[in-house]
Chains A and B, each alone.
Chain A
Amino acid sequence: MGAGIGAGLAAIGAGIGIGRIGGSAMEGMARQPEASGKIQGAMLVIAALIEVAALFALVICLMVALS
């Protein structure tokens, strides 16, 4: 059960992080539409980094659940 709770918390963490970066990206693109290409590129990269942190927690939870 701890593994399930851990995986859920990891998902919440990823959701919050990616939501914040997405929100800032949207705001930046709204303020300056010319820069939207660069902002979108940076947003994708940062989303991947945040997602890796969440997936790290997911892998640990899987290891706990399966052993």
Chain B
Amino acid sequence: MSVLSNKFSRFTVLFALLFLVGCSTPSIASETESDTTKFNASEVILHHVMDDHVWHFFDGHQGTWFLPIIVYSSERGMDVFSSRNFYNEHHQVVEYNGYKLEHNHIYLADSGKAVLDISITKNVTMLLINAILLLLVFLAVAKAYGKSSGKAPKGIQSFFEPIIVFVRDEIVKPNIGHHYEKYLPYLLTLFFFILFGNFLGLLPGAGNMTGNIAVTLTLAIFTFLITNFSGNKAYWGHIFWTPGVPMALRPIIMLVEVIGIFTKPFSLTIRLFVAITAGHIVLLSLICLAFIFKSVYVGAGASLMVLFISLIELLVAGIQAYVFTLFTSLYIGMATADHEHH
């Protein structure tokens, strides 16, 4: 039987080919470096990991998507314009309309003050793409549940149902106990948002969305708000007046517990940010090796290593989504736990 005989093996072979090709093509271009200067690997790596006002796909005239810039300042009010205005024909940064762009921050040209920058940057566009993808996928899954109620699941519903059941039965239910239905929609959204965001960030040419500390900080702030607003009397009692501890130690323990309220979301932020960003930096460093040594053989070897490390990054993407959701449900469970009798 030929290997392309049934749909599944055709799909597998096509996916494997695309994956190999996608993972082994270094897609970095540094248009700001001329051919005579040395290749500055750290600049290229940092530029690809950080946020940007333009989305650079490939070199050439049509290769850059100039995202809109939205700034607000008390002197000039709100201004919306395309970031194309910041670059002249020779791809150098110029001033425009009283604003200047320095190291990806926008300042007022005359006074040098910073402006409130709420532009649609590369990471914001990735967030919107992630949101649209989540809506498309899960509205389809929900519709499939409506249509095939009582029957066996098929199609996209059968792909996501084991994952949803895994999140519910292994992460949410054991850690929150009863009342878990109240928090399940948010935790499922959180899990799939981080999962899809991590996977999207690994695609070539994509932005590093979950590796942006503002995004992970926002998710951690949501956890902080949910935990502390659903905290019951036992939770606050444990923080401020810990039972079972000798009286003299209670103020110290209170200080430690109050700091603990803030370190828990902080650790969530840092964990996700560091895991994803460091993974991207490792991948980019390996690709930059080929440019530093300027050799095809180093490039081939580096591409092979990039392939294997990308597989590890896929695993890390899944694990980080699992760990974030697990810790969030742990904290919610600790906050809503019934009072145990000591």
Contacts and interface: CB of A to CB of B under 8 A. Distances in A.
Contacts of A49: 271, 323
A52 interface: yes
A52 B275 contact: yes
Nearest to A41: B170
A58 B323 contact: no
A51 B282 CA distance: 13
B42 interface: yes
B46 A59 contact: no
Contacts of A51: 275, 316
Interface string A28-57: 000000000000000011001101100110
A56 B270 contact: yes
B277 interface: yes
Interface string B267-281: 000110011011101
A55 B319 CA distance: 15
A17 B271 CA distance: 17
B274 A56 contact: yes
A45 B277 contact: no
Given A62-B281, A66-B42, A48 B274 contact: no
Contact of B46 (A55, A58, A66): A66
B323 A48 contact: yes
Report whether over half of chain A's contact residues are helix, strand or loop; otherwise say mixed. helix
A52 B322 contact: no
Contacts of A59: 274, 277-278, 281
Given A62-B281, A66-B42, A55 B323 contact: no
B274 to A, nearest CB: 5
Given A62-B281, A66-B42, A66-B46, A45 B274 contact: no
Given A44-B319, A59-B277, A52 B46 contact: no
B322 A45 contact: yes
B320 interface: yes
Contact of B319 (A45, A65, A66): A45
In the complex, which of the residues B46, B278, B322, B323 has the most CB atoms of chain A within 10 Å of its own CB atom? B278
Nearest to A47: B319
Contacts of B316: 48, 51
A62 to B, nearest CB: 7
A48 B320 contact: yes
A59 B270 CA distance: 11
Report the 4 A-B pairs with minimum CB-CB distance, sorted nearest first: A55-B278, A48-B319, A66-B42, A56-B274
Interface of A: 44-45, 48-49, 51-52, 55-56, 58-59, 62, 65-66
Interface of B: 42, 46, 270-271, 274-275, 277-279, 281, 315-316, 319-320, 322-323, 326
19 contacts: A44-B315, A44-B319, A45-B319, A45-B322, A48-B275, A48-B316, A48-B319, A49-B271, A51-B275, A52-B270, A52-B274, A52-B275, A55-B279, A56-B270, A56-B274, A58-B278, A59-B278, A59-B281, A66-B46
